[in-house]
Amino acid sequence: MAALEVVAAFALPGWVGPLIVLAAVLTTAAAARRLRGLATISLAASPLVGSILLVNLFLLPGAADPIARLGPIGPTWSGLWFGLQTVARLMAFSLAIGLVYLTTAVDDLLADLARRGVGRRAIFVVGAAVQMVPSTIGRAGEIVDAQRSRGMDTEGPIWRRARGVLPLAGPVVFGALTEVEERTMALEARAFSAPGRQTLLRVPADPASHRVTRWAAILAIAVIVLARASGRLG
């Protein structure tokens, strides 16, 4: 469904695509009680949203309907309109992907990939990538605490916080790199490279309703892409 929402957000013309997708995502998130998580994602995207709005508001090529005049430049109505539409598409895309992350149990995802015959290395990469986010946040927290205990000031104005980025980024990145070798050895010590198929400890349920929804989404994606390519969607 997330794939369909992403395609719809960008392929359907005007406000229709992004608004339908946003409505679908917010309804699903409310039902799954994940609105708080989406709010966090929206907050994280706010610098990008702000810059898109500003650039389009003042610098949209060919816009000639000024809202006001501020010296050599001026905000335009069409810039504002285009900026808002772009932001709506961006948010529809981000929140659809974010909702997948918030509502999918990693072990279910990995078990399902294994059931579909995806190789164990590919499955491990997916799992490790998803788990990397919380583990990196945890590691960053430990390093910030360690730097604070050595006198680094990480509170206060943004320029003061910015000074703490380098002492944080270095240990996070290099720590992760040195961990790679140990993780590789640990995996080999657990027969990760054994030939043949992995035993599936459990098979996630895949009821008929899920299968029908999945195939309907794939069909809808194909229809939207074809309609867009043939110019029927404008």
Partner 1 sequence: MAIELSGVRYRYAGASAAALSDVSLRLEPGRVVGVTGANESGKSTLCLVLAGLAPKVIGGRLDGSVRIDGVETTAMRPYELAQRCGLLFQNAATQLSNTTATVFEEIAFGPCNLGLAIEEVVERVWWALRIVGIEPLAPRDPARLSGGQGQLVALASVLALRPAYLVLDEPTSELDPAGTTLVAEALAGMARETGAGIVLVEHKTDVLARIADEVLVLENGAVALSGSAAVLADPRLAELGVEPPARVLLEGEVRAAGIEWTPRLAEALA
**For partner 1, which residue of 156, 195, 231, 234 counts as binding (CB under 8 A)?**
195
Binding status of residue 194 toward partner 1 by CB under 8 A: yes
Helix, strand, or coil here: 171? helix
67: left (phi over 0), alpha (psi -120 to 50) or beta: alpha
Q: Which stretch binds partner 1 (CB under 8 A): 72-80, 142-150, 198-206, 210-218?
A: 198-206
Q: How far apart are alpha carbons 231 and 127 in whole angstroms? A: 39
Residue owning tokens 């816009």:
63
Give the binding range for partner 1 (CB under 8 A) out of 48-56, 85-93, 118-126, 214-222: 118-126
Piece of the chain touching partner 1 by CB under 8 A; list 47-55, 66-74, 84-92, 116-124 = 116-124
CB 136 to partner 1: min, Å: 12
Return all residues near 8 (Cβ < 8 A) that are at least 6 apart.
17, 20, 21, 220, 224
Please provide residue 97's backbone torsions phi and psi, each rounded to the nearest 5 degrees: -65, -45
Q: Binding segment for partner 1 among 62-70, 101-109, 162-170, 204-212 (CB under 8 A)?
A: 101-109
CB nearer to partner 1: pick between 149 and 199: 199
At a CB cut-off of 8 Å and minimum separation 6, what does 90 contact? 45, 48, 49, 52
Taking residues 61 to 80 in sequence order and writing x for each that binds partner 1 by CB under 8 A, - otherwise, the string is --------------------
Among 185, 216, 219, 223, binds partner 1 (CB under 8 A): 185
3-state SS, residue 66 = strand
Verify binding: residue 124, partner 1, rule CB under 8 A.
yes
SS3 15: coil
Of the pair 62, 134, the CB lying nearest partner 1 is at 134
From residue 17, alpha-carbon distances to 48, 49, 215 in Å are 20, 18, 20
Shortest gap between Cβ of 184 and partner 1 (angstroms)?
7
Angle of CA points 23, 20, 214, to nearest 5°: 95
Stretch of residues binding partner 1 (CB under 8 A), selected from 43-51, 84-92, 153-161, 178-186: 178-186
Residue 107 binding partner 1, by CB under 8 A: yes
Among 4, 87, 110, 224, binds partner 1 (CB under 8 A): 110
Counting Cβ atoms within 10 Å, is residue 89 exposed (0-12), middle (13-18) or buried (19+)? buried
Q: Work out whether 143 is an interface residue with partner 1 (CB under 8 A).
A: no
Binding site for partner 1 (CB under 8 A): 105-107, 110, 120, 123-124, 127-128, 131, 134-135, 179, 181-201
